[in-house]
Structure 1
Amino acid sequence: MAGVRELAVPFVAPGPSGVAVRDRLKHLSLRDEHVLRVVGAHQGALASQDLKARCADGPNYGADTWATRKRELTKESSSRIAGAITKATHDQWALARRCQAAHIRSLEAGIKVLRHRLSLPIGARGTKRSPGGYRSRGEWFHKSRRLKALEARHAAAVADWQAERVRVVRGGKRMLNTRHHLAEAGLTEGRWREWWEAERWFLAADGESGKRYGNETIRVTPDGQVSIKLPAPLAYLANAKHGRYTLTSTVAFAHRGVEWADRIEANWAVAYRIHHDTTRGRWYLTASWKRPTVPAIPLETALAQGVIGVDTNADHFAAYRLDPHGNPVGEPHRFVYDLTGTAHRRDAQLRHALTRLLHWAKQTGVAAIAIEDLDFGAEKTREKHGRRKRFRQLISGIPTGKFKARLVSMAAEHGLAIIAVDPAYTSMWGGQHWQKPLTTPRRRMSRHDAAGIAIGRRALGHPIRRRTAPPRAHQSDVHGYRTLQTDRRAPGREEPRPRIPGPRTRSVPPDTARTRATRTPKTVRDVRSEQEWVQDSLLLTE
C-alpha cells in the first residue's frame, strides 16, 4: 500500500530488573524523629554540594574528580555514605541529560510544525497527517513570533547539550516554583518549607553483598529492628555500639517478606531508603534489591497458547483474546479506570485495572499479552494540534509510560510475557476489517475492541485484514477459500470442504429429498398429483 511506513517487528519486553517493598515506621519516639531529621538534613546538604560540584565539572569529569569529591564527603560522613551520595549524584545528572535531550527533540518537533504551517497560505486546509495553514493573519503573526522564541530556546538548549551543562534542582523544579504560588497550592510558607526540606534530605544506603544483613549503613535485622550508622560529626547521637543509632520502631514487610528475609539471612545486598511524608506525618522505610537477569522467552513460545491484544485508551483498556491462528475468541473485555484526582489515586486506578486484566488473562490460559509500543512525544505539541486542547489532553491522559512499566513488572509475577508491537494503523485497520463483521445484536463492537484484535494479530505475525480475496474469475468453490488466518503448516488446511447435499445454488434445504417422502401432508391434495407417472409398456407398432 502506498504511503504505509515500514512496521517494526514485535518483540518480547524484558522483565523487571529489581523490586522494592515499603513499610511504615510506626511508634517512633520524639528522639527517633529528631535523629532522623538531623541526619537527613546533614547528608542532604552533602548531596547538594556534591551535585553542584558534578554539574560544575561538566565535560571535565573523570575518575580523578570523582575520587576527589568522594574524599571530601568521607570527611563529613563515612566512606559508604560518600559512595551512596556520589552514585545518586551520577544518576541524577544522567537523568537530567536524558531530559535535556528529550527537551531538544520536543523543541525541534515544534519548530518543524510551525515552519510548515507558516509556509502555507492563510486558511489552507490540512490533511489527516499534517495540519493546515493558520486561519487569520493575526494568528499567523503570533505564531511567527513563537517560532522565533522556540528557535532561541532551541539554540540555548543545544549549546548546553554540547557543553554538557545541565540545570538540576534537588527536590524538583515544580516544588521550587510552588513557593511562588502558595495560595493556589493551598499551602502556607511553613508547610511548604517543611515539604521542601523533607524532599531534599538524604537517608539512603546502597546494599553490599557479604556484609551483615546486606547493608552496613542502614541495617534491618530479621526481626525488623532498624539501626543507622551515623556520620562522623553526629556520632554523639548514637545509642548503640560503633556509632550506631537504633530506632524504637520495627518493620515487617508484608509484601515479599519471605524473599526479603531470605536475602538478608544470606547476607545479600539490600538497599534501603527512609522517607518522610509531610502530608500524613508518617515515616516509611523502602527496601529494594536487584533480581538476576532472566532471558526473555522466545516469541513463538509465548504465542503458543494465543494472545490477548490490549488497546490503551485514556479511560479504559480494550482487550480481546485471540487463538494461535489469529481468530477472536469470546467477547471483548473493557477494564475501566479514572485518571482524575491526585497522583496516588491515578496510580491506584491504573494498578487496579491492570490487576483485573492480568487475572482475566490467567483464566483464559494464554501466556502473553500484546500492547502497543506507544510514544506520544511528538503528538502532544501545541503547535501540531493548535486549538484542539481537548484532543491534546486526551493524548496526554493515556498512561503509556506508567502502563508499560507497571504491566511488565506485574505480569512477571503472574508468569505472563509482554509483547510490544508497532502501533501504526491498528485502530484504523482494526475498525475497517473487524468492527462491522463482529458486531451482532448482542455484541457491540467499538473501534477500540477492533484495535485490540489488530494488535493481537500483529503480535502473532498475521495480517490485520481478515482474508485475501481471490481473483474475480475464481470467486467460487473451484479452489476453495483463500484465507490467511490459518497457518500454512496447519493439518487439513488444503482439504476440500465437506459436501452438502442439495442443489448447487443452496436455495433448497439439503434434506428436502429425505423429508418430502416422510412428512405428513397438511393440506388435501389431488390423488393424481401424488402418483408416480409410469409409461405404458404397449407396443407402438401396428
Structure 2
Amino acid sequence: MGELREVAAPFVAPGPSGVAIRTRLKGLTPEEDKVLRAVGAHLGALASRDLKRRCMDGLEHSTDTWAERKRALTEESSSRWAGSITKATHDQWALSRRAQLAHIQGLEAGIETIEHRLSLPVGEKGTKRAPGGYRTRQEWFAKTRRLHVLADRLTAERADREAGRVRVVRGGKKQARGRHRLEAAQLTEAEWRQRWEASRWFLQADGESGKRFGNETIRVTPDGEVSIKLPAPLAHLANSRHGRYVLTQTVVFRYRGEEWADRVSANRAVAYRIHLDVERGRWYLTASWTIPPALTVPLSGARRGGLIGVDTNADHLAAWRLDEHGNPCGEPRRFSFDLEGPASYRDAQVRHALIRLLHWAARHGLNIAIEDLDFGAEKTREKHGRRKRFRKLISGMPVSKLRARLVSMAAELGITIVAVDPAYTSQWGAQHWQKPLTSTKRATTRHDAASAAIGRRALGHRIRRRTTPPRTHQSDGCGHRTAQAGHGTRRREESRPRLPGPRTRSDGAGCGVKTADQRAQHRSGHAAEHGFWQQDSLPLSL
C-alpha cells in the first residue's frame, strides 16, 4: 500500500464577489427589435476584429497597443463602447490562456499514465492507487502509438503557450461545429445561421460610478426606462437626444429589485448585458455589480454548535447533521437531482437540491461542510481506461457549478460553507462509520457514512471513531484507549476514571471502587494474589 497523501486543513469558503439579476424585455416593437439587432451586429463585428488584433499581439501586448486599439474602436462606436469591447477582449484572451494551461496539464497527466502502464508487464493487475499494465499486446502497441500522438500535441501546445498564441472562437466552438451536424441538431441552415449570428453580437456595457444611474452606455432608470447610446454609424436611428434610443416598455427586476434601485439611485456602477434567446425569440436584460467582500467567519465560529456534512455524488447530495463533538444526530438526509436532459433542466435540478439543503440547515441553525472537489486530472481516459461509465459519471458531476452556487446561495441565508480536503472520506467513512450507524430501522449507505466523515474533518476531529491499542495492551492498567483523546490531552495515558457507585443492580454498594488499580484485584501476576484468600461456603438455600 502506498503512502497516504497529506490531508489539507479545512477552511471557510469565501463568499461571492458579485451579483447578477435578469429580466425580460417585453413588448418590443418591430422597430426596436430591428435597432437592437443592428447595434448588436455592428458592435459584434468590432469585437471580433479587436479580438483578432489582441491574439496577434500575443505576449507583446502593452498599454500602447491597447490604447491604439481603443482609439480605432472609438472612431466607429464611442469611447465607452470601445472600453467595454477591449475589456471583454482581454477577459476572453485571459480565459483562453487558462484553458490552454489546463489542456497542457491534461496532456502531461495522460502521458505520465501511459508511460507508467507501458513500463509494467502485460496483464499485470493494478491497485487502488495506481493502474496496472495493459491487458493485451495489441492494446500495449496501440497505446505506444497514442503516446506519440499526445507527445506531439503537447509539444505544439507548449510552443503556442511560449509564443502567446491562443485559439478562440467568438460564439463558441460547439456552435461552430454544429454547422456540420445540422441533421443531428435538427436545425436548418437558416436556423443555425440565426443562432450563430446572435451568439456573436455584442450588447454589454460596464458600469461607471458617479455617472447618471451608474451607466452611460446602457442606462436603466429607477422607473425601469431603458435607453442605449447608439454607435456613431447608427446615430441616425436615435429617437432621443444625444444619440440615444429609448425603448417604449419599462422593465422590472423581481429579484433583488430594491438593492438594484438603491444602487442606480445613488449613481453606483451597474453593468448591463442585452442578449437574444433565439430558440424562444425573447430579449433579456441582465444587470450585474460587484459587492464588497463580506467578513469571513472564523473557523472556530463556523464549528460552533456542530455542522452538516455533505457528500457530493452524481445524482444526489448525502447530508448528515453532527454535533460539535462529531457525533451524528438524527437521520441522514438525501437531496436528489437528475442530470439527464438539457442544460436548463440540469441547472434547475441542482438549484432545487441546494435550496432544500440550505433550508434544512437554516432550520437547525447550522453551517455546512462540503468537499473541495476538483476532477480536473481525473477525467482522462488514460487514467480509467475502459471504464467509460465511470468516466462519464465523474465528468457529469457539476462540481464547480454546484460549489459556486452553494456559496452564493448560502451567503443570502447567512450560512457559512466550510471546505475540506476530500482525501479518503468515502473510504474511511465506510470503514469506521457505515456499520456502527446501521441498525434494523436504518440502512446507512456508503455516501451517508462519507457525509459523517466530512463533517468530522470539518470539525477538526479524526474520522476514526476510536484508537484501539494492541491486544496485549487492552487492559486498564496499560491504558486502554477507546475514547477519542488527542495527542495533546493531559493524563491520556492513565487509567480510566471510575465513577462511584455500583455499575449494575447486582453489584454491591462498594463494588468497583478500585477497578482501575490492577494490584487491588485478584489477577494473576499481581501482589494481591499472594495475600490470604479463602472462598466462602455456598449457602444451603441453593
- Using the size of structure 2 for normalisation, the TM-score is 0.90
Alignment pair present for 1:464 and 2:463: yes
User: What is the 5 A alignment of 1:69-148?
Assistant: 69-148=69-148
Q: Secondary structure at the match of 2:249?
A: strand
Q: Secondary structure at the match of 1:358?
A: helix
Q: Secondary structure at the match of 2:180?
A: coil
The separation in 2 between residues aligned to 1:18 and 1:274, in whole angstroms, is: 18
CA displacement at 1:137 relative to structure 2? 1.6
Q: Which residue of 1 aligns with 2:527?
A: none
The separation in 1 between residues aligned to 2:255 and 2:304, in whole angstroms, is: 32
Alignment pair present for 1:426 and 2:451: no
Equivalent pairs, count: 512
Q: Which amino acid aligns with 1:404?
A: R
On the 8 A contact 1:275/1:283 being kept in 2, the answer is yes
Alignment pair present for 1:449 and 2:437: no
CA displacement at 1:45 relative to structure 2? 0.3
Q: Which runs of 5+ in 1 are unaligned?
A: 513-528, 534-542
User: What is the 5 A alignment of 1:225-304?
Assistant: 225-304=225-304
Q: Are residues 467 and 237 of structure 1, via their aligned partners in 2, closer, same or farther at CA, if it must alter by over 3 Å?
A: same
Q: Which residue of 1 aligns with 2:53?
A: 53
Structure 1, 108-117 or 472-481: larger mean CA deviation = 472-481
The separation in 1 between residues aligned to 2:276 and 2:487, in whole angstroms, is: 57
The separation in 2 between residues aligned to 1:495 and 1:164, in whole angstroms, is: 67
Q: Are residues 510 and 30 of structure 1, via their aligned partners in 2, closer, same or farther at CA, if it must alter by over 3 Å?
A: farther
User: What is the 5 A alignment of 1:101-500?
Assistant: 101-366=101-366, 368-470=367-469, 472=471, 475-476=474-475, 482-484=482-484, 496=497, 498-499=499-500
Larger radius of gyration: 1
CA displacement at 1:397 relative to structure 2? 1.7
Structure 1, 462-471 or 315-324: larger mean CA deviation = 462-471
Q: Are residues 41 and 511 of structure 1, via their aligned partners in 2, closer, same or farther at CA, if it must alter by over 3 Å?
A: farther
Q: Which amino acid aligns with 1:292?
A: P
Q: Which runs of 5+ in 2 are unaligned?
A: 510-537
CA displacement at 1:123 relative to structure 2? 1.3
CA displacement at 1:295 relative to structure 2? 3.0
Q: Identity percentage over the alignment?
A: 66
CA displacement at 1:472 relative to structure 2? 4.3
Q: Which amino acid aligns with 1:369?
A: I
Q: Secondary structure at the match of 1:462?
A: coil
The separation in 1 between residues aligned to 2:245 and 2:464, in whole angstroms, is: 67
On the 8 A contact 2:117/2:134 being kept in 1, the answer is yes
The separation in 2 between residues aligned to 1:391 and 1:350, in whole angstroms, is: 20
CA displacement at 1:223 relative to structure 2? 1.0
Q: Which amino acid aligns with 1:402?
A: K
The separation in 2 between residues aligned to 1:406 and 1:143, in whole angstroms, is: 40
On the 8 A contact 2:473/2:480 being kept in 1, the answer is no
Structure 1, 375-384 or 285-294: larger mean CA deviation = 375-384
On the 8 A contact 2:469/2:480 being kept in 1, the answer is no
Structure 1, 237-246 or 126-135: larger mean CA deviation = 126-135
Q: Secondary structure at the match of 1:249?
A: coil
The separation in 2 between residues aligned to 1:131 and 1:22, in whole angstroms, is: 48
The separation in 2 between residues aligned to 1:215 and 1:312, in whole angstroms, is: 41
The separation in 2 between residues aligned to 1:488 and 1:280, in whole angstroms, is: 64
The separation in 1 between residues aligned to 2:485 and 2:406, in whole angstroms, is: 29
The separation in 1 between residues aligned to 2:539 and 2:97, in whole angstroms, is: 95
Q: Are residues 510 and 23 of structure 1, via their aligned partners in 2, closer, same or farther at CA, if it must alter by over 3 Å?
A: farther
The separation in 2 between residues aligned to 1:199 and 1:375, in whole angstroms, is: 29
On the 8 A contact 1:325/1:487 being kept in 2, the answer is no
On the 8 A contact 1:26/1:283 being kept in 2, the answer is yes
On the 8 A contact 1:462/1:485 being kept in 2, the answer is no
- Using the size of structure 1 for normalisation, the TM-score is 0.90
Structure 1, 369-378 or 42-51: larger mean CA deviation = 369-378
Q: Secondary structure at the match of 1:187?
A: coil
Q: Secondary structure at the match of 1:47?
A: helix
The separation in 1 between residues aligned to 2:312 and 2:149, in whole angstroms, is: 35
Q: Secondary structure at the match of 2:48?
A: helix
CA displacement at 1:249 relative to structure 2? 2.1
The separation in 2 between residues aligned to 1:245 and 1:488, in whole angstroms, is: 71
Q: Are residues 485 and 434 of structure 1, via their aligned partners in 2, closer, same or farther at CA, if it must alter by over 3 Å?
A: farther
